[in-house]
Structure 1
Amino acid sequence: MRKIPSQTEKKMVYSIRSLKNGTGSVLIGASLILLAMATPTISANENTPTTNEPSNRNTTSLTQPLTDATNIAGKNESDFSSPDSANASLKKTEEKPATEPTTPAATPADSAPQTGQDRSSEPTTSTSPVTTETKAEEPIEDNYFRIHVKKLPEENKDAQGLWTWDDVEKPSENWPNGALSFKDAKKDDYGYYLDVKLKGEQAKKISFLINNTAGKNLTGDKSIEKLAPNMNEAWLDQEHKVFSYEPQPAGTIRVNYYRTDGNYDKKSLWYWGDVKNPSSGEWPNGTDFTATGKYGRYIDIPLKDAAKDLGFLLLDRNKQGDDVKIRKEDYKFTDLKNHSQIFLKDDDESIYTNPYYVHDIRMTGAQHVGTSSIESSFSTLVGAKKEDILKHSNITNHLGNKVAITDVAIDEAGKKVTYSGDFSDTKHPYTVSYNADQFTTKTSWRLKDETYSYDGKLGADLKEEGKQVDLTLWSPSADKVSVVVYDKNNPEKVVGTVALEKGERGTWKQTLDSTNKLGITDFTGYYYQYQIERQGKTVLALDPYAKSLAAWNSDDAKIDDAHKVAKAAFVDPAKLGPQDLTYGKIHNFKTREDAVIYEAHVRDFTSDPAIAKDLTKPFGTFEAFIEKLDYLKDLG
């Protein structure tokens, strides 16, 4: 059985080992011996081996460095990582007063076992001092969301407020003084914070801005998406950019690691890339996860200037050979510009940029844009790789059969991914999924243009002195189309209904003449509507290219479907009005592309009470409009 040395023996071992480093080490060793002799209570549990896990009891940081002496006494010098290379924040934690208790390890946001729970049955032995990060702030009440602000836009905090809307219980009112005043804000180690009450468990989005009492929007509109039901806080950095975690000091990246089994014994990180001190020394002695934070254990890594990439491996030094790698593949993070913390979990292959283990790259919608392309929108595509998008994407047709994706194009700025493949079925939607996100495609105008663009004549074309009508309606989504013909002397009376035939590029066509058995020899002046059937529903519609209408009163819309829209009339415009009309003479007008056209509403043009005394005709009428045409001409 291995004899556990007493506390004094521990110090002797440490001092002898350090002797080769010079006189300074002898003095340090002697000091430790004197300290051990002067404080016998510290060695009260000297026969109890230290463990890697934080206990549930409050402890002081004073005991940690002393128990560490035993652990490091038998290690080679190559086992020690440079104090400048990782976990630099531990120095600050270890220097806290002995009276300040450390807190038990908190769980990450996805509800897993407490890292501070009792695991006395685990035969783990600490290889490095375990420290716990502490924060001085009040707990967050249920159904509240805390917004941390590193630095307010202006000096006078009493004159600034948090204006909120969307899924909050009481959206701000009475601009600008209705905002939550920072006069009531609390202060913690990060900066100021305010708690906002949400409208319930269904809250998904909190929108806000910081304004001042002068009514100026100081930050621009911001929004926070609740990534998980238990997400209840967010942070704004000095530039007021929103994060789901506390931003770290510039020039560092914090790598958080959470294990659901709570066992961090000999779990370490071997890293390289744009870091000041990449891992070196004897493989696989990487940097241990020893610091405990809100999201498991973490390592802080100093970065080079303008760092872009961080590569690393997760290691379990309890294993041998290649099995020491928790995942065989290298991890690579390429968004150091926008994130100062990343989050790892167990042997998950993903690198998360939020502590809720939700993929930041999320699909938000999908459109069928062409017979060979589907376009999906995403929350972000920063750092997205083509191979990853392909790996996690899936497309099926309306029968549930998988459709092969032949290629993807990533538009990072536009937050869009275009999938290539055989998507020639334009009648049914496709289902597109990316990880857990799934959307049914909507038909884009681009698909309609590609499939159904039509340059021919549309509407009702009256010919042969009224004996024939050529009908063309463009309705690609229709399943069936008919024309309902009404009597020219009584638009309430239905003469008959004739089905249209499906034509090219989304059109429906029919010719009305004496063969249609409507009993009409001259269609001039008869009224009509289109009856359109789509997905089991039937509606009556006005011809978009109608040339004339029957009298229509919108108040009659409640009578039946036939009265909800007006009825068009079969007319030949060439036969209407004066026959000697010519085109208007407009100075400098040569081609229609040169025209500048304004739109004026007949009623609104003369509805201003200020000109009532100038009118001889009732305002809002065509006659009143004519009276003010000179004014319109004077405008140029």
Structure 2
Amino acid sequence: MKFAVTTRRFLRKARSHFFMLLLCVFAAAQAFAAIPAGDIRIHYHRPDGNYAGWTIYAFDNTTENTGNYGGGPVQVTGTDSFGAYFDVGVTPGAQEVGIIIHNPTASGGDQKDTPNNLFVDPATQGIEYWAYSGIAKLYTTAPSLTNPTALLPGYVRVHYHRTDGNYAGWTIYAFFDTTEFTGDYNSGLVPATNTDAYGVYFDVAVVPNAQNLGLIIHNPSAPGGDQKDLDRTSLSILLPKALSTGATPGSASCTRASQV
């Protein structure tokens, strides 16, 4: 009798351990789910952990439905250690994929995670990106969850100050040693990433061992047409191993920026 009771206990424990093993295997499979062919994956982290209602609207080089912004055409695909992620269909050879992370069901109406539209170039930047809520950049490596504003490898940070404090519509067009898409000057493909004590800053993706990065700070939506901050000039920045760069209106010199 004692042998039978012991056997039953052993079987219960064995079943319990087997069930836990299955859960772990399933969780690992979810965490490392392959990105489907023809898709890009966007990982998204919210500090509040609430992803209910958050969705992606994709445009330009996408195969997703672009005619239903309010319907949330790209729902959360899955979750991982970073947060939630979305798999977004793109066209063959896609170079300009527009992304809006938003919540069309938010209290008070549609809520965009950042005011600016975001863009990626899968042809030069790959098919996997990370977004931290409130930071207007889709990075090619995961930002730190404890220090999300830290500059990541492969990017140059350009700090920008305007005496009028009005940064609406101001963006950067990058060229030469960059992985940002260079085929669309007017769409503002590199909007302000975030704000700091200096003003705003732009994180600009660069190629490995970048040495010459061209920058135009401009406002393509300005009244009367595109407005360059530096009057008909562009900035050409020589990039040694480390550099700090920043710009103020009307000045063609870069005085404060960073590269990792």
TM-score by length of 1: 0.23
Give the Cα separation in 1 of the matches to 2:121 and 2:84: 22
Q: Is the 8 A contact 1:255 1:300 kept in 2?
A: yes
Aligned residue identity for 1:261: D
Give the Cα separation in 2 of the matches to 1:59 and 1:259: 33
| Structure 1 stretch displaced more, 288-297 or 315-324 | 315-324
Map 1:265-344; keep pairs closer than 5 Å: 265-281=52-68, 283-320=70-107, 322-344=109-131
SS at structure 1 position matched to 2:154: coil
Aligned to 1:408: 234
Is residue 30 of structure 2 the alignment partner of residue 133 of structure 1?
A: yes
Q: Is the 8 A contact 1:270 1:287 kept in 2?
A: yes
Aligned residue identity for 1:361: Y
Aligned residue identity for 1:432: T
Give the Cα separation in 1 of the matches to 2:69 and 2:156: 40
Give the Cα separation in 2 of the matches to 1:291 and 1:59: 24
Give the Cα separation in 1 of the matches to 2:75 and 2:134: 16
**Offset at residue 311 of structure 1 (A):** 1.1
Aligned to 1:383: 180
Aligned to 2:156: 362
Aligned residue identity for 2:71: P
Q: Is the 8 A contact 2:58 2:88 kept in 1?
A: no
Write out per-residue CA displacement over residues 481-529 of structure 1, whole angstroms, 9 at most, x where no aligned residue.
xxxxxxxxxxxxxxxxxxxxxxxxxxxxxxxxxxxxxxxxxxxxxxxxx
Aligned to 2:22: 100
Aligned residue identity for 1:306: G
Give the Cα separation in 2 of the matches to 1:283 and 1:323: 8
SS at structure 2 position matched to 1:100: helix
Identity in percent:
15
Alignment CA distance shift 1:269-1:255 (3 Å): same
Give the Cα separation in 1 of the matches to 2:51 and 2:191: 32
Map 1:203-602; keep pairs closer than 5 Å: 248=35, 251-281=38-68, 283-320=70-107, 322-356=109-143, 358=152, 360-362=154-156, 381-383=178-180, 388=190, 392=201, 407-410=233-236, 421=251, 432-434=255-257
**Offset at residue 347 of structure 1 (A):** 2.0
Alignment CA distance shift 1:392-1:405 (3 Å): farther
Q: Is the 8 A contact 1:105 1:292 kept in 2?
A: no
TM-score by length of 2: 0.50
Higher share in helix: 1
**Offset at residue 351 of structure 1 (A):** 1.6
**Offset at residue 321 of structure 1 (A):** 5.7
Alignment CA distance shift 1:267-1:59 (3 Å): farther
Write out per-residue CA displacement over residues 385-411 of structure 1, whole angstroms, 9 at most, x where no aligned residue.
787599637xxxxxxxxxx96643358
Q: Is the 8 A contact 1:310 1:332 kept in 2?
A: yes
Structure (1 or 2) with the larger CA radius of gyration:
1
Aligned residue identity for 1:257: Y
SS at structure 1 position matched to 2:84: strand
Matched positions, count: 176
Give the Cα separation in 2 of the matches to 1:59 and 1:268: 36
Q: Is the 8 A contact 1:274 1:303 kept in 2?
A: yes
**Offset at residue 345 of structure 1 (A):** 0.9
Q: Which structure 1 residue ranges, 5 or more long, are not aligned?
A: 1-57, 61-97, 107-131, 136-188, 190-246, 364-379, 394-403, 424-430, 439-636
SS at structure 1 position matched to 2:50: coil
Aligned residue identity for 1:433: R
Aligned residue identity for 2:234: V
SS at structure 2 position matched to 1:304: coil
Give the Cα separation in 2 of the matches to 1:298 and 1:410: 36
Alignment CA distance shift 1:59-1:433 (3 Å): farther
Q: Is the 8 A contact 2:95 2:123 kept in 1?
A: yes
Aligned to 2:169: none
Give the Cα separation in 2 of the matches to 1:325 and 1:134: 26
Alignment CA distance shift 1:59-1:346 (3 Å): farther
Give the Cα separation in 1 of the matches to 2:93 and 2:51: 32
**Offset at residue 293 of structure 1 (A):** 2.1
Aligned residue identity for 1:392: Y
Whose relative contact order is higher, 1 or 2, with alpha carbons under 8 Å and at least 6 apart? 2
**Offset at residue 251 of structure 1 (A):** 2.7
SS at structure 2 position matched to 1:347: coil
Give the Cα separation in 1 of the matches to 2:27 and 2:104: 22
**Offset at residue 349 of structure 1 (A):** 1.1
Give the Cα separation in 1 of the matches to 2:100 and 2:130: 13
Q: Is the 8 A contact 2:136 2:191 kept in 1?
A: no
Alignment CA distance shift 1:389-1:410 (3 Å): farther
Alignment CA distance shift 1:262-1:305 (3 Å): same
Aligned residue identity for 1:315: H
Aligned Cα RMSD in Å?
Answer: 4.8
Alignment CA distance shift 1:263-1:104 (3 Å): farther
Map 1:164-183; keep pairs closer than 5 Å: none
**Offset at residue 328 of structure 1 (A):** 3.1
**Offset at residue 383 of structure 1 (A):** 0.8
Give the Cα separation in 2 of the matches to 1:422 and 1:254: 37
Higher share in strand: 2
**Offset at residue 250 of structure 1 (A):** 5.0
Aligned residue identity for 1:302: G
**Offset at residue 102 of structure 1 (A):** 4.4
Q: Is the 8 A contact 1:103 1:134 kept in 2?
A: no
